[in-house]
Amino acid sequence: MALKRRSHNQKDVQRLLDLRIVLLGGRNSGKSFVGNTILNQEEFIFQERTTCLKRAAEVQGTNVIVVDTPGWWCDFSARDTPELIRREIRRSVSLSLPGPHVFLLVVKTDSVFLEKRRKAVEEHLKLLGETVWGHTVVLFTKGKNSGDISLEDYVKASGKPLQWLLEKCSGRFHVLDLQRTDNATQVMKLMRKIDQMVEGNERRLFEIDERTLQEIEDEKREIEVKAHQRVIRIQNQRATIKGEFKY
């Protein structure tokens, strides 16, 4: 699969004044680094988290909100991902109301994108519903361990799994070189690409489909019921202990 960079008439693309970004990806994929690069400040800590982190800043005249989701194990099924993390991935949408403009799926280029990694991506994005793909851009990151391999060679080495991913995203991708110092230029190009995607979506924001929304509501109710049961259990235990001390 040859990589084709889409050409757009820049005059037809209107700049967004407000931009809401959700970062998705596996553990150690560099999402936090990407978030800091976009916001041009150290907002995201490089440590393992089980909850979403939301930060905002003005970037080149645009009010940008970035929601960094907890990462999943890159080579494992979503079934192996803790329930809390799966729930947080879904909750990222409610942290970027009225809805995210774009999901940046962060992929490191320091290792080949194998089938098990592709399957993990598919299963975790499925948590957000099928329509998520129409709002997703693959963001390749190049770090010190990526070497001098070109993106074309990386895609060729990864083969069908990565080709599938790019096709799901309608060929939308961007490369962020974390070793370069001209971050402002790189971010400007990324934001321009996001503007183009949003324009192509007729400025529709991402909305979770009814089925997925119902699943989230069911999970929320289940959590509330469990929390209530836990409170009752603790209260009963305390009452029992007090009763024993009376005698």
What is the three-class DSSP state of 132? Answer: helix
Q: Which residue has the higher pLDDT, 5 or 159?
A: 159
Domain match, 228 and 167 both: no
pLDDT at 9 over 60: no
Considering the domain boundaries, does residue 202 fall inside one?
A: yes
Domain match, 199 and 181 both: yes
Amino acid present at 32: S
Domain match, 192 and 223 both: no
| Tens of pLDDT, residues 146-171 | 777 888 999 999 999 999 999 999 99
Tell me what pLDDT residue 79 has.
92
Domain match, 184 and 222 both: no
- Residue with tokens 């289940």, as numbered in its chain: 222
Query: What CATH code is carried by the domain that includes residue 29?
Result: 3.40.50.300
In 3D, which of 158, 110, 238, 65 has the Cα closest to residue 166? 158
pLDDT grade, residue 13 (50/70/90)?
Answer: low
Domain match, 218 and 148 both: no
Domain match, 180 and 228 both: no
pLDDT grade, residue 8 (50/70/90)?
Answer: very low
For residue 213, CA distances in Å to 55, 65, 89, 129 come to 24, 22, 13, 9
Percent of the chain with pLDDT over 90: 59
Considering the domain boundaries, does residue 101 fall inside one?
A: yes
Domain match, 35 and 123 both: yes
Q: What is the mean pLDDT of residues 108-135?
A: 95
Tell me what pLDDT residue 34 has.
95
Question: Could you tell me the residue range of the domain that residue 186 belongs to?
Answer: 14-207
**Helix spans in 22-74 (H):** 31-39
Question: Full-prediction pTM beyond 0.85?
Answer: no
Domain match, 26 and 116 both: yes
